[in-house]
Amino acid sequence: MSEHGDEVIGRDDDADADLAGERNLDAIPGTAVEIQEMETPEFVAVAVPEIAVRWDQDLAPTLRECVDEHGRPERDELIAELPDLWHRVDAALQRLGPGCLVTESVRYDAYEGWQIAALPRYDLDGGIEFHDRREVAPAPRDRRALVQALVDAVAERPCLDLRDALQLLGVFAGTFPPGLDAVCHRLLGHDLRQGVAAGMAPLHEVLARRAPDRVSATCYQESAVGSRKAKGDPGTDNEDAAGAGRGASGTVRCAVFDGVTGDGDGSGRIAAQAALGQAERLWRLEEDLPPRQLVDELDAAVGRTTETGSAAAVLATVRPDGTASLVSVGDAEAWLVRPLRGPAPGGPPPRELPYAAWKLTPAHTGYAERLRVSPHAHGDGSALVNYLGNGPGRWTQTTVALAPGDLLLLASDGATEPERDRWFGAVLAELAAKLEESGRPLAPALAAALVQRAEALGGWDNATALVCGIGEAKDA
């Protein structure tokens, strides 16, 4: 979006429409549209007028500018502030109709809060297209604009388009605000028939939920050799390792390690087992090491055991107060699956899945490093640049708040195999809903279902899933 004082001039096509903004959406002040004569031949197949849009109020900075230059809203506070944005979006859609947003429409002022800079749709004659005011659901264009604006605000580089935004969400979840991937996928996929604020409210309740009291945690794990990877040697085929332990204080520690072999001799399994053994020794001592020291201890254990093997890792420490600390290096993943509130007794049945899910850890791969600086990155998404065994390099520490009913998933990348054009968070939510309907114990059933799913998708890799079920503590 280009700004020249209080005037923006541009071609009126759907992809590059300019913006008019206002601080109060109940009344759009001073907006004037002028159709300017164009110097054109006497006859052309399509005549498109130039439109000059003027407003009498300054626009707030774009969301990316506000976060980058002013530090407001802070990245960790962004999710909590979004409900106010949705009300502004609904007001814009009610006033101007669907299709009035582009990425630069989302603006923020540290003192005044959210602002939506929006334009009505124009026809080829330069007139405003009238809309049915009963229609408040955002158009695909509006949905894309909102997602791109949110990702653009927290990414290290400007977001190119929707495809780029979704790639960044998948790779850098865990460094982005927790739950942003769930927010963006709901914006794109939910019907939002009652408006954005009403449609997003159930997810925001889920994201803000905290344990009212002490919690308990019980872990279940499943692991299997992918049939297309197996060579008939049980000692080397499955290079994953996982375990969990409960301390006297009630703290539960769990971990998944995904071995990376050096020359096909099973050194990846040696590395994964060495890392798990060192973790279990630390658990028995109930040492709550700082993340940096923990990663160094595990890395040293792998280095002492094998010269060629290495391992990706994800570890969790779940405390009785409901907080969980996550440490990850490589491409092993952590996800949180949380139930939505059910309908009131006697109310209508829910029209959506009763679970939401979001990713808690980023990927440390060569592809991730390239994507960090270029939207045109490509290559093998499983080639690690950070791992245990040769100096861990980049690693990530995250703290999350848990609540009874949560399912905390730690998994090797074989168990989180993506499906074509389908977000894995949606897969998790659907699996949890189906397993709940079957009446099976949810945490162990989810671990088993993820391993079975990996085999059904081709069995290309070892699949290990450790699911920690969170409940209310029996004894406070």
Residues 6+ apart with CB under 8 A from 366: 379, 380, 383, 384, 385
Residue located via tokens 């440490």: 327
Integer Rg of the chain from CA: 25
Percentage of residues in the chain having pLDDT higher than 90? 61
Residue located via tokens 């940096």: 292
Average pLDDT over residues 124-143: 78
Residue 350's alpha-carbon distances to 51, 355, 408, in angstroms, are: 45, 11, 24
pLDDT-based confidence at residue 463 (cuts at 50, 70, 90): very high
368: which 2 tokens?
């991730």
Cis preceding linkage at 444, omega within 30:
no
3-state secondary structure of 322: coil
- Asked if 317 and 325 touch (Cβ cutoff 8 Å), the reply is yes
**What's the CA gap between 300 and 287, in Å, rounded?**
17
Average pLDDT over residues 98-109: 92
Q: How far apart are the first and last CA of the chain?
A: 56
Displacement of CA 462 from its chain's centroid (Å)? 24
Residue located via tokens 């999710």: 79
Pairing verdict, β 215-224 and 407-411: unpaired
3-state secondary structure of 15: coil
Residues 6+ apart with CB under 8 A from 1: 8, 18, 19, 62, 102, 104, 117
Q: What domains lie within the chain, and their CATH numbers? A: 7-208 (1.10.510), 215-472 (3.60.40.10)
Report whether pLDDT(333) > 60. Answer: yes
Q: What is the pLDDT of residues 33-78, one digit of tens each?
A: 444 444 555 655 666 666 677 766 788 899 999 988 877 888 778 9
**What's the CA gap between 14 and 100, in Å, rounded?**
10
pLDDT-based confidence at residue 448 (cuts at 50, 70, 90): very high
Report whether pLDDT(30) > 70. Answer: no
Q: What is the pLDDT of residues 260-312, one digit of tens each?
A: 876 667 889 999 999 999 999 999 988 788 999 999 999 999 999 998 889 99
- Asked if 332 and 359 touch (Cβ cutoff 8 Å), the reply is no
Residue 372's alpha-carbon distances to 201, 350, 376, 386, 421, in angstroms, are: 31, 39, 10, 15, 22
- Asked if 275 and 303 touch (Cβ cutoff 8 Å), the reply is no
Supply angle C-alpha 446, 450, 451, rounded to 5. 120
| pLDDT mean across residues, the chain | 85
**What's the CA gap between 221 and 439, in Å, rounded?**
19
Residue 251's alpha-carbon distances to 110, 292, 319, in angstroms, are: 40, 20, 5
Who has greater pLDDT, 19 or 115? Answer: 115
Q: What per-residue confidence (pLDDT) applies to 69?
A: 83
Report whether pLDDT(222) > 70. Answer: yes
Report whether pLDDT(2) > 60. Answer: no
**421, burial (CB in 10 Å: exposed 0-12, middle 13-18, buried 19+):** exposed
Q: What per-residue confidence (pLDDT) applies to 125?
A: 67
Average pLDDT over residues 439-447: 96
439: which 2 tokens?
């009446």
pLDDT-based confidence at residue 231 (cuts at 50, 70, 90): confident
